[in-house]
Amino acid sequence: MSGTVGAPVSRIEGLSKVTGEARYAADFPLAGLAHGWIVQSTIARGRVESVDAGAALQMPGVLAVVTATNAMRLQDVDDGELLVLQDQQVHYRGQTVALVVGDTLEQARAAADGLPVEYQAEPHDVLLSASHPRLFAPDHVNPNLPTDTLTGDVEAGLAGAAVTVDHTYSTPAEHNNPMEPHATTAFWDGDRLTVYDSNQGATRVHQALVRLFGLEDSAVRVVSEHVGGGFGSKGGARSQAVLAAMAARMLGRPIRVVLSRKQLFSLVGYRTPTIQRVRLGSDRGGRLVALDHQVVEQTSTVYEFAEQTAVFSRVMYATPNLSTSHRLVALDVPTPRWMRAPGEAPGSFAVESAMDELAEACGVDPIELRIRNEPVTEPEGGRPFSSRNLIACLREGASRFRWAERDPRPGTRRDGQWLMGTGVAASTYPARSAPSTASVSAQEDGSFIVRLTAADIGTGARTALTQVAADELQVPMDKVEVRIGDSDFGPAMIAGGSMGMASWGWVVVKACRQLIADIDRCGGVPDDGLVARADTADDIAAQADLVRHSFGAQFAEVRVDVDTGEIRVPRLLGVFAAGRIVNAKTARSQLIGGMTMGLSMALFEESLMDAEFGDYLNHDFAGYHIAANADVQRIDATWIDEEDDQLNPLGVKGIGEIGIVGTAAAIANAVYHATGQRQRHLPIRPDRVLSP
């Protein structure tokens, strides 16, 4: 065995990235390439009355102005956001109303900026509230989970509880901002469409384009060789891919469409704002007798997306009486989508803050409170866990963080003008796998090539998959080449839902083992090589009905300026139980990245809606604040050894998202410990800290 799985291996594509050799979606040189620039609506609801393209078409280099009146017709699909330029209706401010195509990007943008568009505006509604008259219960929540759940009698449990907590928590709209903006380069070769696209899974984009353009599977190829981040916003096809393919067909030449930073705030999704009421009831020792988690959030009028915010409560703590619910309102806004740890990230802020409030009310240490409420089986349905090591994470974190030295009284520690405090919160995220396909070929020179439609969005997936294949094939890593990001390799799971490595690693292991068996049967590698193919659909379908989750514990130390309300976070610690770790270096990077994003969620990120104009005001990095280097001080992420033979052949759980879950609550709880004032609404701005 090569023994590379678990080792801290540097990214094998690192040199090509830092030297600029790596090609992203907007980097592929094509003869005759033209550029498209999107024109966005300036009203939040209504109709496009007319687009006067005459002057634009007279400008130098302008090739076409594509609108709803001349765009090619697309096949109907469920996702209305992909049906671009198919009618004159405007559903939200920032919606695509035209595409200007020019020989150069500058020419297309100049013409687009001055394109006259006349509208018939209608009254719009863009504000979420817990009492909105159009609230409704969706059929399901993402990805396909029950909208509401009920175990026992929550109202009776709360009525009989010795101690209760009943508060409302809120999180704002937050926007994914990957380093690489969404981009697509598309061209047609006869009736075959090829797109170089920035996405988290070429398979899903391939499937969308096949349906939209009414093509056979073999007539579409999607390539995503390198991807500069996604955070969920690139989890499926986005409008720029459809527009590039459409314009390329109409003009008969390659077209590239790249979104600007501002356009990302309208066209690729965001995390829905949430309003969450959490009610807890316990005995005087803090043991829960009831938990109720009610969530209100928004969707669009174009496509229904319901974030699974309350699912966090369905798995975390033992209680005989448990209820969760989700309610939506369809507003005149862009469609919310996935954003790192959808559901668990905002849900954990509310529940873990409430648990801290319960610990205070009961006079119980916050860690001890969580340990006392550790379930034996799944609280919602009673199914067994494949593994659950939350208590181990809490205890390991408490030891590393020196929690025992903490004075539990709030507002007692001070260093000059700084109030100091510490907080804790728990984390969880599902450990799932999805069917995927892969092939492994043995070459005459003793090397191997692995092909699968995985995506490396900065996580180090290429490197980790190379480690997995090398170990299975019992060769050094330099004898294995992993090729990913090409839909021609067959369907595979996206890099999302913390399912990538679990899904891809499973099928790579299966294909490698099949290849070894074939080599043994053939008595060696034939002169023309040997290929083994595998898929995992049947394997995954045959899994036992268990609850599979990663767990973790987050610890935060904060300093709060008594005069300005400024918050600094000098120390964050995360301890996780996430199955087998494939690459210690990239895993730590992912966990720290998630924790940094959680810090940003706690203190900075907030998309501000202007009710009059129906748009998010701070749609750039001047107004939308994220954590910068000075904000990220000492962050440490580690894990405990965890073996779980009920997951997949590697024993892998996802780590891409659990790092953000619970971080905001840990910081909020630390701010309370420092100041004695509870922060129930994110972000924790200085004005909120200073408010009585």
Give the catalytic positions in this structure: 657
CB 465 within 8 A of CB 508: yes
Spell out the residues 6+ positions from residue 532 whose beta carbon is closer than 8 angstroms to its own.
Answer: 439, 440, 441, 511, 512, 514, 515, 518
The DSSP secondary structure of 356-380, one letter per residue, reads: HHHHHHHT--HHHHHHHT--SS-TT
CB 165 within 8 A of CB 293: no
Taking the C-alpha atoms of residue 63 and residue 253, their distance in angstroms, rounded to an integer, is: 11
Give the position of tokens 């050094």: 476
Phi/psi of residue 322, nearest 5 degrees: -140, 130
Amino acid at 40: Q
**Among the listed residues 135, 242, 136, 128, the one whose alpha carbon sits nearest the alpha carbon of residue 184:** 242
CB 185 within 8 A of CB 26: yes
CB 80 within 8 A of CB 305: no
State the Cα angle at 281 between 148 and 163, rounded to 5°: 160
Q: Are strands 255-258 and 34-40 parallel, antiparallel or unpaired?
A: parallel
> What count of residues does the chain have?
692
**Residue 209 token pair:** 């384009």
CB 595 within 8 A of CB 572: yes
Q: How many CB atoms lie within 10 A of CB 109?
A: 17
Taking the C-alpha atoms of residue 53 and residue 488, their distance in angstroms, rounded to an integer, is: 39
**Is cis: bond before 683, omega within 30 of 0?**
yes
Task: Report residue 170 CA to chain centroid gap.
Answer: 19
**Residue 42 token pair:** 């300036």
Taking the C-alpha atoms of residue 135 and residue 295, their distance in angstroms, rounded to an integer, is: 11
Q: How many CB atoms lie within 10 A of CB 629?
A: 6
